[in-house]
Amino acid sequence: MSVRFQGEVARLQHVSYAYNSHTVLENVDLTISAGDFAAVIGPNGGGKTTLLKLLLGLLKPRSGTVTLFGQAPAKAAHRVGYVPQDVHINRFFPLTVLELALMGRLGPGRLLRRYSAKDLTAAEAALDRMEMLAYRKARLDELSGGQRQRVFIARALASEPEALFLDEPAAGVDSVGQKDLYSHLKELNDRMTILVVTHDLLVLSTYVKSVVCVNRSLVHHPSPEVTENMLRLGYQCPVELLGHGHLPHRVLPLHGGKDRG
């Protein structure tokens, strides 16, 4: 394990966010230290994606401050490799795997410049790292869900980022593909900080170092052990967690009187 990680990658202080009048995050604090491998869990609509977008400057908080590498997110976002949610992307867009990976080499200072040999090398190295170089000429809709996600990660890696933020990278990926995906991430964590939004608690104990539970409020657990509080905040019904053992599906009672309808 590398020890050259220092300082913090991202920080939220007293951050609130609302879509129109619907509050998604309320007065949350979070610090992601360099070298962390953090899983963001919580129910749908609980604010997981919002949290990621706030950190990347794609959304502006209603109140509170967000910093990324100590700077305003919009200024530092290019230092993060971003893997957005697959579902919003046009699956049939005419685009090859290599062209997609090359997008990771784009940047504000590179307008009016063609991709250089260095860009091509970096994109191919990233694809190779994710074991997708053989598919460089394939169209995106010719790949399986797991392969597509690996290409999206390669695109993020092509920019040679210091951190990787992923939004549900395992959605639509079969269980073998998921294991494969997470072991790739675990390897990458030797070199970079990773923040992954996930639905799947499989990742918890096996791969990650800390867990961020988001459901309007936020609790950051420094170790990946599942606690009762985590279940209470993150999940009203930890189906998937229990599903991976041999236990039947159980609905745990709510703790506390807070409304979470």
Partner 1 sequence: MGEWLHLAFVQNAFAAAVLAGVLCGIVGTYVVANRMGYMAGGIAHAAYGGVGLAFFMKIPPMVGILGFTGVAAMVMGVLSLRERHRADTVISVLWAFGMALGVLLVDLTPGYGADLMSYLFGSILTVSRASLAAMAALTASVLIFTALFHKELLAVSYDEHFARVRGLPVTTFYLTLIAIIALTVVVLVQVVGLILVIAFLTIAPYIAEKSSRSLQSMMFRSVFYNIVFGAVGLGFSLALNVTSGAAIICVAAAGYFASVAMSAVRQRMQNG
Using CB under 8 A as the criterion, which residues of the chain lie in contact with partner 1 when the complex forms? 53, 56-58, 77-78, 80, 82, 84, 89-90, 92-96, 99-100, 102-104, 106-108, 111-112, 115, 137, 139, 155, 159
CA–CA separation, 240 and 178 (whole Å): 14
* Strand, coil or helix: 7: coil
The distance in angstroms from the start CA to the end CA of the chain is 42
Coil, helix or strand for 59? coil
CA separation for the pair 239, 218 (Å, rounded):
21
User: How many other C-beta atoms are found inside a 10 Å radius of the C-beta of residue 7?
Assistant: 9
Q: Report the nearest approach of partner 1 to the CB of residue 141 (Å).
A: 10
Residue number with CB closer to partner 1 (49 or 189) = 49
Of the pair 119, 200, the CB lying nearest partner 1 is at: 119
Q: Which residue lies nearer to partner 1 by CB, 121 or 223?
A: 121
**Residue closer to partner 1, measured from CB, 9 or 211:** 9
Minimum CB distance to partner 1 smaller for 1 or for 111: 111
CA 100/CA 20 separation, integer angstroms: 34
**Total Cβ atoms within 10 A of residue 139:** 16
- What does the DSSP 8-state code read for residue 3? -
- Least distance in angstroms from the C-beta of 109 to partner 1: 8
**Please, which residue, 84 or 238, has the CB nearer to partner 1?**
84
Backbone angles phi and psi of 83, in degrees to 5 = -115, 95
Report in angstroms how near the CB of residue 108 gets to partner 1 at its nearest: 4
Which residues are CB-contacts of 105 (< 8 A; sequence separation ≥ 6)? 115, 119, 122, 123, 158, 159
Q: At closest approach, how far in Å is the CB of 155 from partner 1?
A: 7
> Rounded to the nearest whole angstrom, what is the least distance from the CB of residue 79 to partner 1 in the complex?
10
Tokens 């250089």 belong to residue: 116
φ, ψ for residue 77 (rounded to 5)?
Answer: -60, -30
CB of 92 to partner 1, least distance (A): 6
